[in-house]
Amino acid sequence: MNRDLTSYRKSYDKLVLDETTVPSSPFQLFSDWFKEVEAVGGVEEANAMTLTTTDQDGYPKGRIVLLKHYDDQGFVFYTNYTSEKGKAMQYNTKVCLSFFWPNLERQVIIKGTVAKLSEADSTAYFHSRPRGSQLGAWASQQSSIITDRNVLENALADLEKQYPEGTTIPKPSFWGGYCVTPLTFEFWQGRPNRLHDRIRYQSMQTDNWDIERLSP
């Protein structure tokens, strides 16, 4: 296997990011950008983000998860507590979230700490999910080794019998939500000649944020 990709080229020239005109709150800028990405279209899941964790082996691992809520307190997603990422977050609460929105040539990188949501909040969201997704949370012991896909299909079939239409599916005790509280935001806007705009917000002791431009 040998493929040369050095000829891949793209010019970034759609928009500008200026530290003198950005809002004082990174949450406001994130919300503005998210809405703009949705409005322009072309990104099927604007809420898809890379969650990077570090396990006890010291290796970072990133995977795509879906952002389900954001506000001035943080960024919320849901998963299996006993999964690989769940165990990693229990070991090390320092995580990173990354968004890539190619339709507007933008990235956002958020570093912060993660904590579980309350059981009540996790339960409320669980029951808002499609029925198939609720059953799927029970059927999959996420990150565990299985012999083949039939293990999942058989587990789902058994659960469909256990919880027929019209019955309430309880939330698994091993499944729920997390909230990432940001410590830094980096907003990246593609620009020509690889001289991209990079603006970083760093949390201060108060509610204020220090705003800096980074060299690309």
What is the number of other CB atoms lying within 10 angstroms of the CB of residue 76?
18
Q: Where are the beta strands (DSSP E) in 2-92?
A: 48-54, 60-66, 69-71, 74-80
As a whole number of angstroms, the distance between CA 72 and CA 55 comes to: 28
Distances (CA, A) of 216 to 58, 169, 202: 28, 50, 18
As a whole number of angstroms, the distance between CA 24 and CA 69 comes to: 21
Report the pLDDT value the prediction gives residue 207, as an integer from 0 to 100: 77
Residues in the chain with pLDDT values less than 50: none
Report the pLDDT value the prediction gives residue 5, as an integer from 0 to 100: 93
**Would you state the structure tokens that stand for residue 165, as one six-digit string?**
């239409």
Report the pLDDT value the prediction gives residue 204, as an integer from 0 to 100: 85
Those residues whose C-beta lies under 8 Å from the C-beta of residue 9, and which sit 6 or more positions away, are none
* pTM check: above 0.85: yes
Q: What is the pLDDT of residues 7-48, one digit of tens each?
A: 998 999 999 999 999 999 999 999 999 999 999 999 999 999
Q: Which helix (H) or strand (E) holds 213?
A: strand 209-214
Which residues are catalytically annotated?
194
